[in-house]
Amino acid sequence: MKCINNYLIQKYIDGEATEKEVQLINNHLKKCASCISKLENRQILSKNVISATNKIIIKEIVTPKFLSPVNTLKKQWDIKKHIIIYIAAASILTGILVLYNHKINKHTPEIYSIQNTTEDVNANQPCSEQKITLKITDPQGNTTEYNLD
C-alpha cells in the first residue's frame, strides 16, 4: 500500500482536500500507523506555525510619507533651463546674422547677367589652357569683361 504524501496531508489538515481525497485519506489512516504519526506531527507543526504567526500582531501600520526626489527634480529643471538658454542664444545669434547679412547685401550690387563670350570650349582640355571671357553686367548697366587664361 502506498502512503500519503506530505502535500496531500497538509491539504487535509488545512481543509483544502476534496471529498474524494478526504475519503482516501480516512481509509488509508485506518490501516497505516506511519501515516497517522505523520498526520499528528503535521497537525502539531501547523498549530505551532499558526500560534507563532498570531503572536506577530502589528497594531498600527505606519507608512512613511512619499518624498519626491529633490535632486531629480532639480536636475530636470536645470536641463530645461539650459535648453531655454541655448534656444534663446541661438535665436539672438540668428537674428544678428540675418540683420548683418541684410546690411551687407544692401551695399553689394546685384549681378543681372553673366555671359560666356567664348564659344569654343574644349571639354577635353584643362581650363588653364583655354581662353574664356566672362561678360558681367551690373544693375546700372555697366559691363565688365574678364579674360580667364
Closest CA to 133 of 111, 115, 108: 115
pLDDT band at 102 (very low <50, low <70, confident <90, very high): low
pLDDT band at 18 (very low <50, low <70, confident <90, very high): very high
User: Would you say residue 22 has pLDDT above 60?
Assistant: yes
Diameter over CA atoms, the chain? 128
Q: Where do the domains of the chain lie?
A: 6-55, 68-108, 113-148
pLDDT at 40: 92
DSSP sequence for 3-39: PPPHHHHHHHHHT-S-HHHHHHHHHHHTT-HHHHHHH
Q: What are the pLDDT digits (tens) for 113-147?
A: 555 555 666 777 776 777 777 777 777 778 887 77
Cα-flanking dihedrals φ and ψ of residue 113, to 5°?
-150, 145
